[in-house]
Structure 1
Amino acid sequence: MAAAQQATTSSVRQVPSPVQHFGFNIGDDYQLATYTQTADYFKQLATSDRVKLTDIGLTEEGRHQYMLVISSPANIRLLDQYKQTSQQLARAEGLTPAQAKALADKGKAVVWIDGGLHATEVVGTHQLIETAWQLVSRNDPETMRILDNVIVLMTHANPDGQELTTNWYMRHTDTLKRSTDQLPVLYQKYIGHDNNRDFYIMNMKESANMGRQLFLEWMPQIMYNHHQRGPEGSVLAGPPYRDPFNYFFDPLMITGIDALGAAMYNRLNVEDKPGYTRLNGSSFSTWYNGGLRTTTQYHNMIGLLTEIIGNPTPEKIPVVPQRLIPNGATPNPVRPQADWRFRRSIDYSVSLNYAVLDYAARHRDEVLYNIYKMGKNAIDKGNNDTWTLSPSRAEAITTAYKKDQQDMTRDDANDPHGWNRRGSNIDIQYYDAVYKDPAQRDPRGYIIPADQADFATAVKYVNALIKAGIAVQKAKTAFTAGGKQYPAHSYIVRTNQAFRPHVLDMFEPQDHPNDFQYPGGPPVRPYDAAGWTLAFQMGVQFDRMLDDFSGPFEQLPYGELQSPEAYTFSPVTKGGYLLNTQVNNAFIVVNDLMKAGIKVYRLSKGTAAAAPGTFYIPAGMQANNILKAGAAQWGVAPVAVAKQPKGVVEAAPLRIALWDSYGGSMPSGWVRWIMEQYHFPFSLIYPKDIDGGGLKQRFDVIVFVTRAIPGEDGARSGYRQSQPDPQQVPEQYRHMLGRITKDTSIPKLKEFLEEGGTVITIGSSTNLAYHLGLPVHNALAEKDKDGKEQALPAAKYFVPGSILQVSFDSTRSVAWGMPGTGDVNFDNSPVFRLDSDAAAKGVHPIAWFTTDKPLRSGWAWGQSYLKDGVAAFEASVGKGKLYAFGPEITFRAQSHGTFKLLFNGLYGMK
């Protein structure tokens, strides 16, 4: 396009084109740009008066993460004013509809476009470069209209990943050998692909950087998250998305996605660019929170996702016959072809960006007013009695009616939408019994008491809300609400705020529908988790307030992160101190003490004043200094005692090894990050290290996250099946190659255990118990007609990522500090049945299901099968100990409520 290659103003003439800067056109075959080159180019673009370059923070590897703000020169001069307007409309606080309309008329639409989050999806970073260049250089009427009416936030989502991926791809001089496959390490320092699962807690620096711009600074009305890859036989998948969507959403958010989706695929059709699929044409839905575009949807922002094909190495569109039938999901199928070029994917992406930006420009006042309207609706709902529509409540109506009518028939699914029915026999009283029941109202707010045992973790939860732009209050003094007394410094989160959907989603259970391909058929897998309630995962205690309440509350400034309450430390010269093992941060202090060579003890039996596992530290100058710092920084309150309690045992620091693999394991990366945050020293260990034997001479405990240990049949357990040719791998990465095998690795692990080592297994890595021949079996199995045990079919039992409740034996040292019952993150996780002689053989349960309805949040089909199943156990193996945790106790560094199950296992006892 000629207009894209010309510049007419003096400021634009100084900006080089991509080919002038990089030495190749964006989209050229076999060419990728590094982040170093891209950052330099962003700085070149910033010499234009259409651009402001913003450094939004450092990445985990220390690179500067940049965002280009692009608009007309006149708008660039007034960015602060337009940002304030965007904030006012998004928060909707104190604005009348007339005032909001006036602001919308004067404001500019704010649109976020990102690229590169998943670094091997290389279209994302390169469409960002190309689109930025075109917006800066073009002067056609459409571009000028966009610049006059829209402020574009072009955000690089993963600088570290682009640098790694491009260097890996370009390392071969022979272009035919170039590939983004087989990266040696994760393309985000700790979590790789899971960097798109971090946005409601924002543990990673990149997530926090982007979250600050999205939820506290700019609050765009539309955000567009670029990914790949498109479903086989298509070019891309995009909006609108398949059901279900979350019931907390305002309908304007969903219909806004519909409108933008129409603009996007209409433009492609006008430009003769086929292959767009939507709705059930792909697996993408709007149910899950936690992704870069999905978390924004809980903030009333029109969150868009596309997944496109494309690679600098030419590829093909394969023959997929079912994709060649035009239908509502794919109105304009693409024909199979053997030579799809990278530049075509770039051109599609630029067209999609322009479709979104043109829509925002043409409907500027509408998108600005609509985000206000959604926020105002949320505030009104939070100020009144409201009942959220949901599947369980609809089912309650049906169940009550059928019970009264003694109707035991089941729906035959012949008329799922009720099109053949002209009326219903269900009286309004059944609706009223559910949707006018005062006990089933949505809360007006939540109180997080300051006197809960692990208040420091509760503060981390509050900070997750604050980073997401949620309004939080804090009690200046003690108060009473709902007939209950609360201490000063308790936190209050009200639901009468614009981002109410996100507030409810972090506190309330998710109610995923029973979603099956057909009645009696297999379930439709959720795109990601089905339930994730963060307060449950973190073990935070809170009270749901169904009625309005007031108190001595102060509104915290938006974005002001909180610190644990600093305790006054009064040193003693005799005796020592107790640290509550229920407090996760106590492990930070203990690790700092151990690093300084200070002895730490634990109460083996507990006392009237202290639970089993409580830490005891003898008084001393060095210990006092570390405890004082811990009280101030980590909110850990030492309790002075006059003498050492009876029954203490010394807690020994262990030599810790954490399994990882070539290419990087995301679950291992999360644990690596957790251990660093809690000051546990550790080493990474790879399959070759295990196969070499002599493990007990080097380590005391080895941690295997999920997908490390294969099944009994030797089947791979989830990490890369194919291993690269060692000769094609740089020398510094070759030690990472290999995998855990039944014949070589397992005997070495058994030897390690028998010699006194400890092995901690999580998720599918509990397969190790079966390899060792322990008296445990799969509790989720049934016998077939031949009497052989088979895993329950998904049509009978299916629990995708959800939160379930279990009972804990907190007298077991590995469960010290755990409550009697608690929540665990469960993703079709292993559940065990212990043989009758298990205890005699040294196998004891740690956690188990005591009810046939353990679901707390998400979806659990056939959950009655879980009753009496063992979720976690410990086993003696020779002189050593195996810990098997079926649930994901370290899940994405979110499940703080179960971190102690790992932490306790990382100490020895002398």
Structure 2
Amino acid sequence: MYRTTYPQIYLDQHQMGNSGPRIFVPPYPDPMNPDIHPLQWQQLRFMGGGMVADLQAAGKQGVVTGSMYRIWGQEGALTGRYHNIVGILTETASARIASPDTVTLEALERGAAPGRGLGEYGFQIAFVDPWLGGEWTLGDIVDYQMIAAKSVLEQTAKFSQHYIMGRWQMGSETIAKAELEGPHAYVIPRNQADPIAAAEMVGKLILQGVEVHESVGAFEASIADGLWSSPDDNGLSGNEDSTEDAAEEDDLPDEDEGDTEREEDTDEEAVEDNKPEEELRSFAPNSWIVYGAQPGRAAVLDLLEPRRRRVQHEWPGGPFMRSYDGAAYTMPMQMGVEITRTDNPFEADTRLATSARVVAPPMPTANDWYAISAEVTRAYQAVNRMLEAGLSVFRAVSEDGPLFIVSASDPQSRSLLTEISNEIGVTVVADPPTLGMSAQQQAARIGIYQGWAASMDEGWTRLVLEDFDYTFETLMNDDVREEGLSERLDVIIIPSQIPLNRLIEGASDEDAPPGFRGGIGEEGVENLKEFVRNGGTLVTFEAADAIVLEHFDVPVRNALEDVNRSDLFLPASLLRIELDENHPLAVGSPNEVAAKWAGGRAYEPTDFGGDAGQVQAVGSWAEDPERLLMSGVIVGAEKLAGKGAILDVEYGNGRILMYGFRVQHRGQTHGTYKLLFNALLKNSPRTATEDR
């Protein structure tokens, strides 16, 4: 879309649940991102109004507009809004695949959720002609979508100059705004702990239409310390008390006029004192530069800048206004990439980057050992390939950090490492100094539970493991019910988004045909317990921990289970986790990482736990509530602060690893992958967590 067509208008037609309106048409309701050019919102209202009118003229009832879909950020094709493309989303009520469905008025009324903009199912300005129920078919879906699509085409033909010139206007004014307000540029250094992750991030930015330049030679830039990691709120404060504070300030008595000059002087001095210190920093050739003055500035800010979303309410004193999607996407945090921001112009000879990859230096010759850094996430892919080829791989420590090493005496080590280095980009070093504490690694036999639950998180888990060349087995219900799991597997992963009753009981006779009914059953639960007791590792992501909390008798609870929604407001954001640097799962990670919260857990101990042994917090949500939020918005940070985020629970001869968030969230969070990958290697015959 951003390389060939680059349209002025983009229509994305989706389907939604069938209990509610028949079709949603823009404009979108609040909250929306103010970084997007205002003309974009007005064009959406104009286009959406025409679509609604055409649907109504065709006698189509149940059209909702300006309600329900509060899509703030980087959701699919709607990313075009961040590049001055009129991004239109429609959502049409679904049928039973291609089978007719009878929908009652009672079901429609139950589907009207106050938190999504429809307080009740009935006439309102956003929903002027409600559909009152009846038969709903695939043909109805096609009719509604065809009318909406033809409306877009007709309006585009009639007002083509309006949209063509409108995008030119938005792009020009966006560039001018960046030149006035900044940022001048973000610099992504070529030399950093994980340059491959940096290159992958840059490649995704380019794919998303962001202009990225690459420096031809070395250059210097003046970097304001802390400007990127600790931004000001830019009017988007997450402070719940900000409105109240402002009202209180309005009631303060006026100061004497004679003090005005003194106060102005004091303010100037304060501003001067608070100005961040600047550091002149050198950057290596081939570093990447993302300039702020580009038509896609809104995308640059949303993808690179730490965000501080404003807290909004449905009405004064009412419930929090919740977005349909996330509150923060800040890619450097998600991917563990170093980046700096500068608002000062600098000179650098650059070329436009059309792709990004790391070319590793030539393969050295070693006398004893070849080594790759365990701080590089793709090193784990290299290890998987070496183990698959039969090489003996060891994990060791050195003065330069943790390493994976292979013997130079192995006849195939040099040729295989050369091939891996050329393809993946990992840097291979020869004979690293001060090696110590080495342990041979083996690939764990991995099983991922799938069943018939249709969990998206299970699909994302498979995608990530396939991308990093892991070999694994997909487990269905019969596989878990079969005894002897520990004879076949070392690690079993239960992804999130599988409700406990669906995991154990499965689908009923009414919901599924024979062969697709049922779950793992009580026998499957007992088999999982026996698997861990016999030395296996059970991994749970986020809500998948329910099977452990309710059936394994461990001395742990989710501290958020009794927290009211009014006391904790936390849409999908990036939160700080403080890691135990001495724990094997933390190998290769910094002391603090950004975790993607999209619903999660905060663990605390209890007074019971019959079969469990020691419980260790591998990572905890930041102790200081003020430091917990890295990007996004939160109210009630003290509910999570200091609680467990990743637990290592002894259970018989094995381990239960409970991740209170999705460590592999949608294949995006490269910065936390290693926390999982370390659990998928074992030091024969022990699991990774027993390497102490």
* TM-score normalised by L of structure 1: 0.64
> For residue 909 of structure 1, what is the aligned residue in structure 2?
683
Q: What's the CA shift for 1:812?
A: 0.9
CA distance in 1, matches of 2:92, 2:8: 23
Residues 47-79 of structure 1: CA deviation (Å, up to 9, x unaligned): xxxxxxxxxxxxxxxxxxxxxxxxxxxxxxxxx
Change (3 A) 1:610 1:342: closer
Query: In the alignment, is the contact (CA less than 8 A) between 1:382 and 1:494 conserved in 2?
Result: no
> For residue 487 of structure 1, what is the aligned residue in structure 2?
284
> For residue 498 of structure 1, what is the aligned residue in structure 2?
295
1:461 aligns with 2:201: yes
Within a 5 Å distance, the mapping from 1:16-415 to structure 2 comes to 214-229=1-16, 232-280=19-67, 283-292=68-77, 294-309=78-93, 311=95, 312-319=98-105, 320=108, 325-334=122-131, 336-384=132-180, 386=181
1:591 aligns with 2:384: yes
What secondary structure, in the 3-state scheme, does the structure 2 residue paired with 1:506 have? Answer: helix
CA distance in 2, matches of 1:721, 1:253: 46
Query: In the alignment, is the contact (CA less than 8 A) between 2:507 and 2:519 conserved in 1?
Result: no
CA distance in 2, matches of 1:575, 1:699: 34
Q: What's the CA shift for 1:232?
A: 3.3
> For residue 448 of structure 2, what is the aligned residue in structure 1?
658
Residues 289-330 of structure 1: CA deviation (Å, up to 9, x unaligned): 1322x2111111111111123544333453256766432111
Letter in 2 for 1:532: Y
> For residue 535 of structure 2, what is the aligned residue in structure 1?
756
Change (3 A) 1:677 1:229: closer
Relative contact order, higher structure (CA 8 A, sep 6+) = 2
What secondary structure, in the 3-state scheme, does the structure 1 residue paired with 2:11 have? Answer: strand
> For residue 630 of structure 2, what is the aligned residue in structure 1?
856
1:746 aligns with 2:533: no
Query: In the alignment, is the contact (CA less than 8 A) between 2:15 and 2:91 conserved in 1?
Result: yes
Residues 175-214 of structure 1: CA deviation (Å, up to 9, x unaligned): xxxxxxxxxxxxxxxxxxxxxxxxxxxxxxxxxxxxxxx1
What secondary structure, in the 3-state scheme, does the structure 2 residue paired with 1:228 have? Answer: strand
Within a 5 Å distance, the mapping from 1:412-427 to structure 2 comes to none
Within a 5 Å distance, the mapping from 1:700-711 to structure 2 comes to 700-708=490-498, 710=500
CA distance in 1, matches of 2:135, 2:545: 45
Change (3 A) 1:492 1:836: farther
Letter in 1 for 2:74: N
Q: Decide which of 895, 898, 903 is 2:669's aligned counterpart.
A: 895
CA distance in 2, matches of 1:844, 1:632: 39
CA distance in 1, matches of 2:505, 2:69: 24
What secondary structure, in the 3-state scheme, does the structure 1 residue paired with 2:289 have? Answer: strand
Letter in 2 for 1:852: P
Query: In the alignment, is the contact (CA less than 8 A) between 2:31 and 2:321 conserved in 1?
Result: no
CA distance in 2, matches of 1:532, 1:329: 30
> For residue 552 of structure 1, what is the aligned residue in structure 2?
349
> For residue 438 of structure 1, what is the aligned residue in structure 2?
none
Within a 5 Å distance, the mapping from 1:740-819 to structure 2 comes to 740-741=520-521, 743-770=522-549, 771-780=551-560, 791-819=562-590
> For residue 690 of structure 1, what is the aligned residue in structure 2?
480
Q: What's the CA shift for 1:645?
A: 2.9
Change (3 A) 1:634 1:342: closer
Q: What's the CA shift for 1:643?
A: 8.2
Total equivalences in the alignment: 608
Change (3 A) 1:740 1:245: farther
CA distance in 1, matches of 2:427, 2:40: 45
Query: In the alignment, is the contact (CA less than 8 A) between 1:233 and 1:317 conserved in 2?
Result: no
Within a 5 Å distance, the mapping from 1:819-858 to structure 2 comes to 819-834=590-605, 841-848=613-620, 849-853=622-626, 854-858=628-632
> For residue 525 of structure 1, what is the aligned residue in structure 2?
322
> For residue 449 of structure 1, what is the aligned residue in structure 2?
189
> For residue 539 of structure 1, what is the aligned residue in structure 2?
336
Deviates more, 1:745-754 or 1:893-902: 745-754
What secondary structure, in the 3-state scheme, does the structure 2 residue paired with 1:298 have? Answer: helix
Q: What's the CA shift for 1:516?
A: 3.4
What secondary structure, in the 3-state scheme, does the structure 1 residue paired with 2:16 have? Answer: coil
What secondary structure, in the 3-state scheme, does the structure 2 residue paired with 1:842 have? Answer: strand
Letter in 2 for 1:595: E
Change (3 A) 1:900 1:273: same
Q: Decide which of 576, 586, 590 is 2:369's aligned counterpart.
A: 576
Change (3 A) 1:364 1:591: same
Change (3 A) 1:538 1:317: same
Which blocks of at least 5 consecutive residues in structure 1 are unaligned? 1-213, 387-441, 782-790
Residues 385-421 of structure 1: CA deviation (Å, up to 9, x unaligned): x2xxxxxxxxxxxxxxxxxxxxxxxxxxxxxxxxxxx
Query: In the alignment, is the contact (CA less than 8 A) between 1:564 and 1:633 conserved in 2?
Result: no
> For residue 72 of structure 1, what is the aligned residue in structure 2?
none
What secondary structure, in the 3-state scheme, does the structure 2 residue paired with 1:626 have? Answer: helix
CA distance in 2, matches of 1:536, 1:871: 17
Change (3 A) 1:370 1:727: closer
> For residue 257 of structure 2, what is the aligned residue in structure 1?
none
Q: What's the CA shift for 1:337?
A: 4.3
CA distance in 1, matches of 2:512, 2:301: 53
Query: In the alignment, is the contact (CA less than 8 A) between 1:817 and 1:900 conserved in 2?
Result: yes
Q: What's the CA shift for 1:725?
A: 6.8
Within a 5 Å distance, the mapping from 1:710-749 to structure 2 comes to 710=500, 715-716=501-502, 722-723=507-508, 728=513, 734=515, 737-741=517-521, 743-749=522-528
Deviates more, 1:352-361 or 1:508-517: 508-517
Q: What's the CA shift for 1:626?
A: 1.6
Change (3 A) 1:767 1:356: same
What secondary structure, in the 3-state scheme, does the structure 2 residue paired with 1:872 have? Answer: strand
Letter in 1 for 2:533: E
> For residue 357 of structure 2, what is the aligned residue in structure 1?
563
Q: What's the CA shift for 1:216?
A: 1.1
> For residue 881 of structure 1, what is the aligned residue in structure 2?
655
CA distance in 1, matches of 2:440, 2:615: 24
1:624 aligns with 2:414: yes
Change (3 A) 1:628 1:549: same
What secondary structure, in the 3-state scheme, does the structure 2 residue paired with 1:874 have? Answer: strand
> For residue 640 of structure 2, what is the aligned residue in structure 1?
866
Change (3 A) 1:239 1:471: same
CA distance in 2, matches of 1:696, 1:234: 50
Letter in 2 for 1:779: A
* TM-score normalised by L of structure 2: 0.83
Query: In the alignment, is the contact (CA less than 8 A) between 1:234 and 1:323 conserved in 2?
Result: no
CA distance in 2, matches of 1:640, 1:358: 65
Query: In the alignment, is the contact (CA less than 8 A) between 2:54 and 2:148 conserved in 1?
Result: yes
Letter in 2 for 1:639: V
Q: What's the CA shift for 1:779?
A: 2.4
CA distance in 1, matches of 2:352, 2:51: 41
> For residue 273 of structure 2, what is the aligned residue in structure 1?
none
Q: Decide which of 418, 426, 429 is 1:639's aligned counterpart.
A: 429
Change (3 A) 1:726 1:868: closer
Residues 244-298 of structure 1: CA deviation (Å, up to 9, x unaligned): 1112111111111100011111112223323211123xx2023131322x21111
Change (3 A) 1:760 1:497: same
Letter in 1 for 2:163: V
Letter in 1 for 2:532: L
Q: What's the CA shift for 1:466?
A: 0.8
Change (3 A) 1:445 1:756: same
CA distance in 1, matches of 2:407, 2:583: 24
